[in-house]
Structure 1
Amino acid sequence: MEAELEFSAGDRARLRFAVSPLWEVATSFRLLSAGRAHPVHRHWIEQVRPRVTAAGLDRDRLAELVPCDGYVPDFLNPAPTAPAPTLAEELTALRAAPAERIRRDLTRLEREHGLSLGPRLRSLYDDPHTQLPKLAEEIETYWQLALAPYWARIRAALDADVLHRARQLAEHGSAYLLDELHGQAAREGDTLRLRERRRGLSRAVAGTGLVLVPSAFTGPGLLIRVSPPDPLQLAYPARDTATLWQPRPAPAAEALAVVLGRSRTRLLTELDVPAATTDLARRTGLSPAAVSQSLTALRDAGLVSAHRAGRWVLYARTATADALLSSRASDSAEPSRPAPPGRPEPTARR
């Protein structure tokens, strides 16, 4: 099946990209709920699923709202108002969702999945004003456990995709961009064609413009959000997602250890995967107290971030630390070059 949508000059002028934390929440949670191995995200799933289960999130509101396949309520993905809104900004929009939108989406969830709302979702239907803050708090907990420690890496991949697509748009125009975006999308003249779309589309229900949302967890398909008066959103798989969790090159730590000390440098290298204090102590042989003291110093220096959710505190390298370690690795890998012919080797000044 295929849906066609008018795509005027005004819509082209309003075409934009956005990196959305809430899109990553819903798509990653669905991936965890699927309960099967994944060729790309297997390592992430193995690290995150035990924490999510221990926190009870696999049995709470989010689990009921995000089934393993099919429709997910549109109010979970409010239209991004900026190129890269924070999770806090998007949760503010979620908490402000109109009650009629919540009830409409929950009714559709019941209809399309052939189920009856459980007590939690029935409470959300009956009293959105009271229940939406509780849902937002649950999403924040999931974020801290499952995505925040990895966000620097995920965000870098999403930003790189946006940069690539923006260059395509600037050099070749919107028709070329949409043709290259995904096999389910194409633009022909003033028409946007969306293949495998079961429901019809019109500007009356799709809003004006188009928001393109790269995602690390969508899977191979194109996800479409239609919720008037918001613009149409297309969430598509970001480029290079297949390499997202591949181990990074081991850094040359010796020179860095002179500055930071061997223990702190070892901790930074171990944090290629986010970890708790006890995990780091077990892997490095350092005492938990020594690990905690070193992590505090690294966090104060902007090289480590801490992410708390309930009893969990996970530490992750920051982008600054990644750049520092990568530069040390590239410096050590680059062979020394002889001076050009006819020029003497430089000598150190005394």
Structure 2
Amino acid sequence: MVMVPGGGLISYELAGMDVADVRFAVSPVNELTLSLRTFRDPGRYPVHLPWLRRTERVRAGLDLPLLHALTNASMWSPDYLTPRPYAPLTRIDDELAAIARVPLERMLDDLRALHPGELPEPLRGDPAAVRERITTALRAYWHACFAPWWPRMRTVLQADIIHRAQVISAHGLAAMFAGLSERVSLDGGVVRVRLTTNAGYRRSTGGEGLTLVPTLFGRGVTAPISPEEPPLIMYGTRGAGTLWQTETHRSPAALTGLLGATRAGLLTTLATPASSTELAGRLGVTTSAVNQHLRALRDAGLLTSARHGRSVLYLRSELGDALVAGGSAPDPEDRAP
């Protein structure tokens, strides 16, 4: 059962303190499942209110009683709907296909743990039919409310992963884990995660590794409460607050005069990695126009780029940093004599 952050202790013993034992992954179905919390209590997730407003009309045509039943008042969700991703960038079709094949007994165990009393009406009846209804409802929810925005969401998640990798390179694994949340720590080769319930266990990651999954729909850290589940930590991603905003960056006047307003805005924005799709959404311009400007800035040595999965992420180079910093200085002609 995935839960909200808080008091039990889960300990993962890293096999040999090897960086290779820790990996990051993005999971579309995890995001899909965790987003159902926003239905139950939108006020707890103010960042996503613009998205909830934009999708209100299409949500009305979904199987809402079933989707509501997949969380409870404690914001828990069934473990089998938040599976460990086995590739850095999993595909929603593959994950939904796996959910459609989950053993019926496991599904029922998870649903009964979610609702210890009587199951809500949408979850009752023939288990095979319930499993099919859940899969169908999630697939429809994905196409209506996630698919149009998934490239934007995925870019924010990928940018977080790049940041964590940079922290590991510069400061080590312990600093990276500490940066996930105040509830996560690494000491003596053991990763400790503090949660809300009294559930707790200690297990090795040997042979399976520890997967870290950033999420846009988490306010802290979550992990499976069963030691039988593969080692997994989900944590709130950086940059979630910018997800639904159209940003207007005020670039220094000198920089705007040199590069033009759009390129100066892009260079100012790219203090953290982003893709052309994400930048287009944030700045309110077309992706094709953004790509032209990004290529020009990269060719001039002001940006670096790196492929991450199917996306190309851009980041200011050292020269770009210097130019932005220099452009922030006041113009000598504007100074008082």
Give the TM-score taking structure 1 as reference length. 0.66
Deviation at residue 38 of structure 1 after TM alignment: 4.3
Identity of aligned residues (%): 31
Q: Give SS of 1:160's match.
A: helix
Aligned 8 A contact 2:14 2:205 in 1: no
Aligned 8 A contact 1:252 1:325 in 2: no
Alpha-carbon separation, structure 2, partners of 1:37 and 1:4: 25
- 1:96 corresponds in structure 2 to 101
1:8 aligns with 2:7: no
Alpha-carbon separation, structure 1, partners of 2:229 and 2:134: 22
Alpha-carbon separation, structure 2, partners of 1:243 and 1:77: 24
- 1:184 corresponds in structure 2 to 183
Deviation at residue 71 of structure 1 after TM alignment: 2.1
Equivalent residue for 2:47, pick from 40, 44, 51? 40
- 1:209 corresponds in structure 2 to 209
Superimposed CA distance per residue, residues 180-229 of structure 1 (whole angstroms, 9 cap, x where no aligned partner): 1111100111322222342112228999421111111112x212124554
- 1:169 corresponds in structure 2 to 168
Q: Give SS of 1:225's match.
A: coil
- 2:306 corresponds in structure 1 to none
Deviation at residue 330 of structure 1 after TM alignment: 8.3
1:55 aligns with 2:58: no
- 2:142 corresponds in structure 1 to 143
Superimposed CA distance per residue, residues 29-88 of structure 1 (whole angstroms, 9 cap, x where no aligned partner): 211331437432221111113321x214322x2210123533211010121110110100
Q: Give SS of 1:3's match.
A: strand
Alpha-carbon separation, structure 2, partners of 1:197 and 1:37: 17
- 1:85 corresponds in structure 2 to 90
- 1:72 corresponds in structure 2 to 77
Deviation at residue 24 of structure 1 after TM alignment: 0.9
What value does the CA root-mean-square deviation take over the aligned residues?
A: 3.5
Letter in 2 for 1:74: D
Q: Pick closer, same or farther for the CA change 1:228–1:4 going to 2, 3 Å.
A: closer
Q: Pick closer, same or farther for the CA change 1:240–1:79 going to 2, 3 Å.
A: same
Alpha-carbon separation, structure 2, partners of 1:183 and 1:156: 25
Alpha-carbon separation, structure 1, partners of 2:67 and 2:207: 27
- 1:133 corresponds in structure 2 to 132
Alpha-carbon separation, structure 2, partners of 1:317 and 1:78: 36
Alpha-carbon separation, structure 1, partners of 2:206 and 2:32: 23
Q: Summarize the alignment of residues 153-302 of structure 1 with structure 2, pairs less than 5 Å apart.
A: 153-198=152-197, 199-203=199-203, 208-219=208-219, 221-227=220-226, 229-249=228-248, 272=281
Aligned 8 A contact 1:11 1:209 in 2: no
Aligned 8 A contact 1:27 1:217 in 2: yes
Aligned 8 A contact 2:104 2:131 in 1: no
Deviation at residue 174 of structure 1 after TM alignment: 2.1
Letter in 1 for 2:290: A
1:323 aligns with 2:290: yes
Alpha-carbon separation, structure 2, partners of 1:92 and 1:65: 18
Q: Give SS of 1:104's match.
A: helix
Q: Give SS of 1:155's match.
A: helix
Alpha-carbon separation, structure 2, partners of 1:70 and 1:6: 24
Rg comparison, structure with higher value: 1
Superimposed CA distance per residue, residues 98-146 of structure 1 (whole angstroms, 9 cap, x where no aligned partner): 22211211221122xxx411333122xx423x43233212111111111
Give the TM-score taking structure 2 as reference length. 0.68
Alpha-carbon separation, structure 2, partners of 1:171 and 1:210: 21
Q: Summarize the alignment of residues 322-341 of structure 1 with structure 2, pairs less than 5 Å apart.
A: 323-324=290-291, 327=294
Aligned 8 A contact 1:33 1:58 in 2: no
Aligned length: 265
Alpha-carbon separation, structure 1, partners of 2:44 and 2:196: 27
Higher relative contact order (CA 8 A, sep 6+): 2
Alpha-carbon separation, structure 2, partners of 1:317 and 1:14: 41
